[in-house]
Structure 1
Amino acid sequence: MHRYDPARQKLAFGLAFLAGAVDATGFVVAGGYFTSFMSGNTTRLGVELSTDPALALVPLALIGAFLGGVVSGALVRRHAGDGLSKRVLLALVAALLGLAAGALATGWAPGFLGLAAFAMGVSNNVFSRDGEVTVGVTYMTGALVRFGQGLAARIGGQKLPATRGCGLLWCALAAGAVVGGALCLHDPRIAALTAWLLALVLFGFALRIEGASR
């Protein structure tokens, strides 16, 4: 996070917020599965393979959709180049979440879950360098570890610049999950629509960032 300018850091926080909102919506719709937290789905997969193999198809399908999004996003980024990649990837994320919201509005929950997981996979390519993710926007274990290491360093009277922003990134995802969960109390379709609108806002922000850097 510390390597990026304030505008790009804000974009990362926005993406983490979006991931939290989408994940909370997917959790409610799927009854305990995730659209961005693949560690949780992997645990569910392992448990269900041991207890009820038929149920393992759900987390397996979500993991497959997410992985497909990661691969597709990486290919799109490579083709678009660094100067246009963020706007192109976020346009794709917004389009996918729009389709996902439409699927849920028509009552097709599996379509929403698959499209949302695919979109979250794509989003992890927005911040990458040399083919590797520099900021994971849908998973926060690493961010929490770095945040904890930063706290330990401060307690010891040192500073670790690489840990700056990690705590805020986690907070952004948690806040998104709170908002997504709260909206689902009214109607998951409203939560899905809100996520799509937020993705459009982030796409517009990416247009502004990449336009200013040219």
Structure 2
Amino acid sequence: MQNLDRPRRHLALALAGLAGFVDAAGYLSADRYFVSFMSGNTTRLGVELAREPAAAVFPALLAISFVAGVLAGALLSGRIPGRHKPPLLAGVATGLAFAAWLFGAGDGRAALIVLAAAMGALNNSFQSGGKVSVGITYMTGALVKLGQGLAALLQRRTADPWGDWLLLWIALACGATLGALAFVNWPGVALWIAAIVAAVLSLAARALPGRAP
């Protein structure tokens, strides 16, 4: 986060909020699975393998779909480095819209698989040297950096600005709250809202100054 200019920091916070929104809506939509938090799905995979092996297929499919989304996003980013954000986010918006259509058609599990791919791709939004520099959909790393930054502050050592990581976590938490509220009150509309937000952010990304990161 500390290497991003202000417009890109704002975009990172908005994307984290979007990820939280989608994850909460996905979690509530079918069987309490996550579409971006693969650590949670991996735990469910292990539990299902121990209890009912046949039920472990679906969390495994979610993990595979997430990785496929990361792969697709990384390939796109590699083809047009520094200019990948608008098409990447347009692709995410398309995936979210397709998932919203699947959910409306009554195929909640297929919608979750598409959402997982979209969230995987979203993690390629910010890259440095071909690697993800800001994890948009997972906050464990951000919280670790927050804790390390606070420790450095207490020890009077130089550290990354810990406030950036705190804001990123807050953005995802607020997005998750809004996603849950939207799904509880308008279950057929929540994912369409996410798709529209992603499309708007794709347009906003076109106005970013410079080309990288």
Partners of 1:122 and 1:182 in 2: CA distance: 25
Q: CA deviation at 1:164?
A: 4.3
Q: CA deviation at 1:162?
A: 5.1
| 1:70 and 1:125 in contact (8 A); partners too | yes
Structure 2 residue aligned with 1:182: 181
Partners of 2:127 and 2:81 in 1: CA distance: 11
Larger mean Cα displacement after TM superposition, 67-76 or 144-153 = 144-153
Report the secondary structure of 1:189's partner residue. coil
Residues 1:106 and 2:105 aligned together: yes
Q: CA deviation at 1:185?
A: 1.1
The share of aligned pairs that are identical, in percent, is 45
Task: Work out which of the residue numbers 192, 210, 213 in structure 2 matches 1:213.
Answer: 210
Aligned pairs for 1:28-177 within 5 A: 28-82=28-82, 84-161=83-160, 163-177=162-176
Let me know the Cα RMSD of the aligned residues: 1.3
Partners of 1:141 and 1:40 in 2: CA distance: 12
Partners of 1:123 and 1:51 in 2: CA distance: 33
Q: CA deviation at 1:165?
A: 0.5
| 1:20 and 1:176 in contact (8 A); partners too | yes
| 1:80 and 1:88 in contact (8 A); partners too | no
Partners of 1:133 and 1:162 in 2: CA distance: 18
Larger proportion of helix = 1
Report the secondary structure of 1:165's partner residue. helix
Structure 2 residue aligned with 1:193: 192
| 1:66 and 1:117 in contact (8 A); partners too | yes
Kindly tell me the number of residue pairs found equivalent between the two proteins. Answer: 211
Q: CA deviation at 1:110?
A: 2.0
Regions of 4+ moved over 6 Å: none
Larger mean Cα displacement after TM superposition, 66-75 or 103-112 = 103-112
| 1:96 and 1:116 in contact (8 A); partners too | yes
Q: Which amino acid aligns with 1:194?
A: I
Partners of 2:39 and 2:52 in 1: CA distance: 19
Q: CA deviation at 1:101?
A: 1.1
Q: CA deviation at 1:58?
A: 1.4
Q: CA deviation at 1:156?
A: 2.6
Partners of 1:157 and 1:48 in 2: CA distance: 46
Partners of 2:160 and 2:61 in 1: CA distance: 38
Gaps of 5+ in 1: none
Partners of 1:191 and 1:60 in 2: CA distance: 25
| 1:2 and 1:163 in contact (8 A); partners too | no
**TM-score normalised to the size of structure 1?**
0.94
Partners of 1:99 and 1:178 in 2: CA distance: 23
Partners of 2:199 and 2:144 in 1: CA distance: 31
**TM-score normalised to the size of structure 2?**
0.94
Aligned pairs for 1:13-28 within 5 A: 13-28=13-28
Partners of 2:81 and 2:193 in 1: CA distance: 29
Q: CA deviation at 1:150?
A: 1.3
